[in-house]
Amino acid sequence: MEIAQIVGLALVTTVLLLILRQEKPVMAVLLSIVFSVVIFIFMIGKITAILDIMKELVNRAGINYFFLATVLKILGVAYLGEFASAICSDAGEQAVARKVEFASKIIIAVLALPIIVAIIESLMELLPK
């Protein structure tokens, strides 16, 4: 049922954006940002449930929490980068959007580095000497 509400809100927002973009482009960008924030707030409960389940699985498996925290940070950077990039694109600033995407990818690579190192070290321990 929630998806029907989201789709309905998206369709209404889209129609309003089409009208506003012709008359008041600044208001259209603001409406787009407000819509994005509303959807994010609407999904916070789902995000919390996912995080709780992932934490429980990590605890049961006895995996180092550092790895889960790193993966969650990477997901956060990816989503926030995409969110900011979409807003910049909606505002007609594709060059800025591309820079946000580039910066997000670099930050993700830096965050992933400790996991990559841990995987390589584990593989090196498995190889015969």
Q: Give the predicted TM-score (pTM) of the model.
A: 0.77
d(CA 87, CA 96): 10
Q: Who contacts 29 (Cβ-Cβ below 8 Å, separation ≥6)?
A: 87, 90, 91
The total of structural domains in the chain comes to: 2
Domain identity same for 126 and 68: yes
69 close to 55: Cβ distance less than 8 angstroms: no
39 close to 6: Cβ distance less than 8 angstroms: yes
Domain identity same for 1 and 44: yes
Domain identity same for 69 and 47: no
Domain identity same for 68 and 127: yes
Last residue of a domain, one of 15, 45, 61: 61
d(CA 13, CA 11): 5
Domain identity same for 69 and 129: yes
Instruction: Kindly give the parts of the chain with pLDDT less than 50.
Output: none
Q: What is the pLDDT of residues 87-116, one digit of tens each?
A: 888 888 999 999 999 999 999 999 999 999
pLDDT, position 105 = 97
Domain that holds residue 35: 1-61
